[in-house]
Structures are given as structure tokens and as C-alpha cells.
Chains A and B, each alone.
Chain A
Amino acid sequence: MIVPNTMEQSALFTYTLRLADDLLILSQRLGEWCGHGPILEEDIALTNRALDHLGEARNLLTYAGQVEGKGRSEDDLAYLRMERQFTNVKLMEQPNGDYAHTMVRSFLFDAYHLPLMQALQKSTDEQLAAIAGKAVKEATYHLRASSEWIIRFGDGTEESHQRAQAALDNLWTYTGELFESDAVLEEMTKAGVAPEIAAIKANWSKTVDQVLAEATLKRPADGFMMTGGRKGLHSEHMGFILAEMQHVTRAYPGVAW
């Protein structure tokens, strides 16, 4: 971890935090399914997926804390930040809905996460490259699993097709945020830390088209896209997620077990 100047240090902290927050919040959402899965195997699958995301988030949060250099641990960053300090995209905090909503949300993320991790393996930042090298294998598996569900739903019964299409139409407006650029991302891309976001989007778009075609689902047209998550402006759901996630730490400060 060589950090040449504070400007870049601050951008690297923010960039790492964004990567972490997406995974942390999605993991928290998927964890809500624990004990409620439609069948036992899927209950297990969702919590496994949540665990993979959480593990990656922990690595990233730990690293973000090191980059920041103020002694904050992964737990400090997960449990002691306020809503406005979370930088995940709004897609991650959307409610689980029915199984189609949960799977479409994960599919839209997985199709973005895999090429991102593949590219991040070549990051000039060694720690991010190492984390990505580990994550890429799991991300491959996740995309495979969610793609299979999208195809099964879309090309399944009339009911499952309708629900999958409804989920896709509902969540599409949240996908723009994944590919937003700003000063932080530009600086990280210039430094070779982050990959070109346009290339990730092209890859994502191709995967989405392929899977939707096989699923006989219609890709929604790009219209108004939600924004704000990266700046800490979240949907109404975020506060409830944090209330549940941070409850024990807030209620019993400094508690250890």
C-alpha cells in the first residue's frame, strides 16, 4: 500500500468504500431471506451468496480503513457510519420483493460485478488486485446461478415470466448508477487503480442481452435513471436496513462476544 499523496489517498478510500458498500448492503438484503427461502436449497443458496458478498465487503472495508489511516476497523465502518456516509448504489438497498425481484437484482449486479472484478485484477493497487483475484471466482459462480434463474423464470410459466419482466421493469431505473462517473472515479481510472467504466458497461450490456434473449424477456428502454447513492443520498429503505444492521452495536457500544 503506497499512497503518494492525500488527494489520491482520499479518492482511493472513497473508491474502496463504494466497492465495499455495494456488497455489504446487498449481503444484508440477501440475509433477510434466511429462513424464508421458497425451498430449502434456495434458502441455503441465498445465504451462501450473502456470505460471499460479506466476506468481500469485509476485505474491502478493512483495506479502506487502512487507506484512510485514522484507525477505523471494518466494524467501525460497517456499524458506526450514518446513512449519508454510505456510498452504495440504490439498487442494492431495494427490497427483496418476490423471488423474481431478488434474483433480477442479483443478476443485474452479478453481470456488473464479474467484469469489474476481472478488470480490477489488473489494478495498479496491489491489495485491490488481490481482493479481486479472490472475488472473481465467486463472482463467476454467482453470475452463473442468477443467469440460470432468470432464464428459468423468463422461459418458464406465464406467471414466472410476468413476474421476472415486472422485476426487470421495476429495477431497470436503478442500473444507471452502476456506471456513473465522477471526479473520484476519473482520478482512480487515471491512476490505473479502477478500470474504464465504459468497458465494464459494454460487458454488462452484452451479458444482459444474452441472458434476457434466452429468457425471452424484454430489455427495458433506458429512461430516467436513479442517482445519488454514491453521494450518500439513499432511498427510504436505507435507514431501515441500517437500523437492523447496526442495532446491537448502537444499543451496546463497545460490546464484544
Chain B
Amino acid sequence: MKRNFRIMQGLTSAPDDLAMITKHRILELLDYVKDPEIPVINVLELGVVRSVEVEESGKAIITITPTYTGCPAMDVMAADIKKELLEAGVPEVEVKLTLSPAWTTDWITDEGKRKLKEYGIAPPEKSADIRALKGVQPVVQCPQCGSKNTVMLSLFGSTACKALWKCQDCLEPFDQFKCL
């Protein structure tokens, strides 16, 4: 319902009222663009949106950065961003890709981390503490029961960004967002 209302709003405001398309408005809209592989968090919470510019013509330029070099979700995200903004009445949208500075899991917002956990994915630890990359096992809390008695099953998981863990107490396997 909320979504339909928003699209209607977008349609009535565009294209003659371009002043409506502000950076603030774009950010509001980006809130609705989810990660296609982890549909509980949006592109802002994931930290992949690096900049938002709105030109006088109303054209929006969104710069995004890939989480993983080969992440197949990036093309989908770029397409979803375009679709979302165009449907809301933004006259023209360009999605640019930048590699530098390289994305880090530290850019996932606290809200994003909370949602990951709720969804059953253990959020990444802070990479400022790069033990994870150096091979020292971090303590990962089971997102299901909260136990810290967990063990890594595999360094790689169901998507490029995740590793596979198991809880020794509730015995449930779970995904952990790899720390980068």
C-alpha cells in the first residue's frame, strides 16, 4: 500500500514540478531499493551508494560501489535503482560504478546490521580489527539463539559476501556476513 501511494505521489509531482526532485527525495526513494540477495536491507544500509547528485534538469546521478568484485547482485541493484527513481518521476537517471575507495563491511549501517541479524545472518565484525582477514577466528554470535558457542563450517557461503557457520548449542547452521 505504501508503495502504491508513493508511486502515485511521484507521478503527480512529475514532470512539471522538478523542484520536487531533491537529493533528500532521492535518498527517500533509495530506501526502497533492496539488496536482491538479502532483501531485508536496502542499498543505503548496505553502504554501496557513494554519492547522489541531482542536476538542474532533474537528472539524478547515483554512484555505487560493488561489495564484491564479481557480485552478480550489482547489475540488478543498478537496474533496480534506475527503475525505482524513474517510476517515481525522476526524468533521467544515471547509475555510475566506482571501485575506489573499495567497499568495506564497516559501511553497513548499524540499522543494516540489526536487520541482518534479525533475518538470520550474523553481521560482520568491525574490520578496523582485521583479525578476520588475518585468519584469527572471530567470536560470532548465533543470530538464532544468541549463543557464542559457534563454529565456522566453511569460509564461503551461499553468496559471495557470506561464510557458513553452525551453532553448537541450538545446532542450527547460519550465514555470517564476511568481514571485508
Contacts and interface: CB of A to CB of B under 8 A. Distances in A.
A133 B160 contact: no
Contacts of B158: 44
B133 A51 contact: no
Contacts of A134: 66, 69, 99-100, 102-103
Given A131-B99, A140-B133, A141-B178, A48 B66 contact: no
Interface in B148-180: 153-158, 160, 164, 178, 180
B99 A59 contact: yes
A45 interface: yes
Interface string A46-72: 001101111110110000000000000
Contact of B99 (A54, A133, A148): A133
Contacts of A148: 155
A98 interface: no
Interface residues of B, number: 25
| Chain B facing A: main interface SS | loop
Residue from A49, A129, A134 whose CB has the most chain B CB atoms within 10 Å: A134
Given A133-B102, A134-B99, A141-B133, A44 B157 contact: yes
Chain A interface category by residue count: 20 to 34
Interface string B85-118: 0000000000000111111100000000000000
Given A51-B72, A134-B66, A41 B102 contact: no
Contacts of A140: 133
Interface in A14-62: 41-42, 44-45, 48-49, 51-56, 58-59
Contacts of B99: 59, 130-131, 133-134
Contacts of B180: 137
Interface string A119-133: 000000010011101
A55 B156 contact: no
Nearest to B130: A140
Contacts of B102: 130, 133-134, 136-137
B100 A55 contact: no
A52 B160 contact: yes
Contact of B70 (A52, A126, A141): A52
B156 A145 contact: yes
Contacts of B8: none
Interface of B: 66, 68-72, 98-104, 133, 135, 153-158, 160, 164, 178, 180
Given A133-B102, A134-B66, 9 more contacts: A44-B157, A52-B69, A55-B71, A59-B99, A133-B100, A134-B102, A138-B68, A141-B155, A144-B133
